[in-house]
């Protein structure tokens, strides 16, 4: 961009600031000389920096300022001066000095200590001023001279002033040291050329109906606009990126004809374990894997409880205990919703497909790949004609729509499905296969007590967090919930 083009594109604020840049080096100086507001100078400098006219250095410094008490003393005199004035004519007791000066006990004690060190008083039953004290009354003390000088940059103080500041800081709100931010401005080679040119010309900032009607635009130039100049990023309001991905996954299941299952996070051990044919002595039901809550839950209708009890006792050969089934737990998987849904179906409802996406809770040790709270996607297909090939088809369709080109299945074992498979997807970023979840056909021991008969029920469940990790470039599951505002603002949307 030529100098002339640069001049034609200058904002009115830039034109007002430019004349001061060759003599002023800080934002504060420019503000004082130009009589502009701080925000106006800041904007002008930012625009000039974008145009390579100036370089800006951010500078933090310590500013020594007069405090609340310091302002009072500046008007009325320091406590030690008031102390000396009260005994200039007549010796007084400390109580009499207090009554006469209205100084607080703390101010009296400080004055007493300072004046004794300077040999300005003789301390007895009554306090007497010395010749040194009378001389102090005639001139400004170093403390008073220092207060008169404020505000001042701490780095500009000499050694004596630094010692004085140290003493004054011990006194309540006499002086304050605050961290201040300033901008130091330096002209670039382009800026130096520009500063030597006398800026003339009357430019129109915007076209209005009035300008068109009176045709005043004919005698003027329009300010040149630079459409390529840097502008601040705007971060619009949006959902948390995890909720975005959950909503997208829901849309996929809904588009495939599934209905959504919902239910409580707090369940009985009956629904969370027993209805899924998990034996009552299974390690997963212990405290190290499950969050148990106080109080006991109620069991469902007797017919269903008896059917589940019979299946456990026949299948696992032990005495089933209803008290263990009444224990209250935070659900450890959304499969509990599948059990509840199956128990509420009638034969006339078949065929039907359900999905859920919800939070689960496990007593896990936190690390990069484990959280004690996580989102899981669950699904079931209840259909007398359903088969294993359909199960793989549903899963392949879902993961391809979630952005994975390669999906594979491996034989596996799970407590309540048979046959069972592990679901793997290929990560192009990591150049390897990632295990995401499990699936299979529910075992008759699960289906018969809940439905009253054995028919094929396709089922699957997988952690949604691991599915969306590669998309967001996150390597640690804990980063999902760290509430870093920079991360939340800059995180890309799920597309």
Q: What is the tens place of the pLDDT at every residue in 167-179? A: 889 888 899 999 8
- pLDDT score for 189: 92
Percent of the chain surpassing pLDDT 70: 100
pLDDT for the residue numbered 493: 87
pLDDT above 90 (res 430): no
Q: Which domains does the chain have, with CATH numbers?
A: 66-179 (1.10.10.10), 242-490 (3.30.930.10)
Q: Higher confidence at residue 133 or residue 430?
A: 133
Question: Above 80 in pLDDT, residue 282?
Answer: yes
Both tokens of 196, joined, read 């030597």
Q: What are the pLDDT digits (tens) for 360-386?
A: 999 888 877 778 888 999 999 999 999
What's the chain's average pLDDT? 90
Q: Tell me what pLDDT residue 283 has.
A: 86
Which segment, 48-57, 112-121, 431-440, 449-458, is predicted with the most confidence on average? 449-458
pLDDT tens, position by position, 62-117: 989 999 988 988 888 888 999 999 998 899 898 898 888 888 888 888 888 888 98
| pLDDT value for 483 | 85
Q: How much is the average pLDDT of 301-327?
A: 95
Q: What is the reported pLDDT for 323?
A: 95
* pLDDT score recorded for residue 216: 80
Instruction: Tell me phi and psi for residue 280, to 5 degrees.
Output: -70, -10
Q: Give residue 334's pLDDT band: very low, low, confident or very high (50, 70, 90).
A: very high
Instruction: Give the pLDDT band of residue 204 (cuts 50, 70, 90).
Output: confident
- Asked whether residue 125 carries a pLDDT value surpassing 90, the answer given is no
Cis peptide before 151 (omega within 30 of 0): yes
């Amino acid at each position: 961009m030529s100098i002339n083009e640069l001049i034609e594109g200058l904002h009115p604020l830039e034109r007002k600031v430019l004349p001061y840049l060759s003599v002023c080096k800080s934002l504060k100086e420019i503000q004082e000389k130009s009589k502009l507001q701080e925000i106006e100078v800041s904007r002008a400098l930012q625009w000039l920096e974008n145009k390579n006219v100036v370089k800006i250095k951010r500078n933090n410094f310590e500013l020594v300022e007069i405090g609340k008490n310091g302002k009072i003393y500046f008007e009325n005199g320091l406590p030690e001066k008031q102390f000396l004035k009260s005994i200039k004519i007549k010796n007084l007791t400390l109580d009499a000095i207090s009554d006469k000066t209205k100084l607080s006990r703390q101010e009296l004690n400080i004055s007493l200590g300072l004046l004794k060190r300077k040999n300005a008083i003789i301390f007895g039953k009554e306090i007497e001023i010395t010749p040194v004290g009378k001389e102090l009354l005639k001139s400004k003390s170093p403390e008073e001279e220092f207060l008169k000088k404020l505000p001042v940059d701490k780095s500009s103080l000499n050694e004596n002033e630094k010692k004085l500041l140290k003493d004054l800081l011990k006194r309540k709100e006499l002086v304050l040291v605050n961290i201040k931010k300033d901008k130091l401005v330096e002209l670039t080679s382009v800026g130096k050329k520009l500063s030597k040119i006398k800026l003339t010309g009357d430019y129109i900032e915007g076209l209005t109906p009035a300008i068109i009607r009176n045709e005043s635009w004919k005698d003027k130039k329009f300010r040149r606009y630079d459409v390529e100049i840097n502008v601040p990023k705007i971060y619009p309001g949006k959902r948390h990126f995890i909720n975005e991905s959950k909503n997208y996954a829901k849309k996929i299941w809904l588009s495939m004809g599934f209905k959504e299952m919902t239910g409580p996070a707090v369940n009985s051990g009956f629904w969370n374990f027993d209805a899924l044919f998990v034996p009552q002595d299974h390690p997963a039901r212990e405290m190290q894997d499950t969050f148990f809550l106080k109080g006991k839950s109620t069991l469902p209708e007797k017919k269903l409880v008896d059917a589940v009890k019979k299946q456990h006792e026949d299948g696992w050969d032990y005495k089933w205990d209803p008290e263990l089934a009444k224990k209250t737990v935070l659900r450890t998987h959304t499969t509990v919703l599948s059990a509840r849904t199956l128990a509420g179906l009638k034969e006339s409802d078949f065929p039907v497909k359900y999905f859920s996406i919800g939070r689960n809770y496990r007593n896990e040790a936190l690390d990069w790949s484990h959280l004690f709270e996580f989102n899981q996607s669950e699904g079931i297909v209840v259909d007398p004609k359903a088969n294993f090939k359909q199960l793989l088809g549903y899963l392949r369709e879902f993961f391809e729509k979630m952005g994975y080109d390669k999906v594979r299945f491996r034989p596996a074992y799970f407590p309540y499905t048979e046959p069972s498979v592990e679901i793997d997807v290929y990560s192009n970023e990591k150049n390897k296969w990632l295990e995401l979840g499990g699936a299979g056909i529910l075992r008759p021991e699960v289906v018969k007590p809940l439905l009253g008969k054995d028919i094929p029920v396709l089922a699957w469940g997988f952690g949604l967090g691991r599915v969306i990790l590669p998309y967001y470039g996150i390597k640690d599951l804990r980063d999902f919930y760290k509430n870093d505002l920079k991360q939340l603002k800059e995180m890309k949307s799920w597309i």
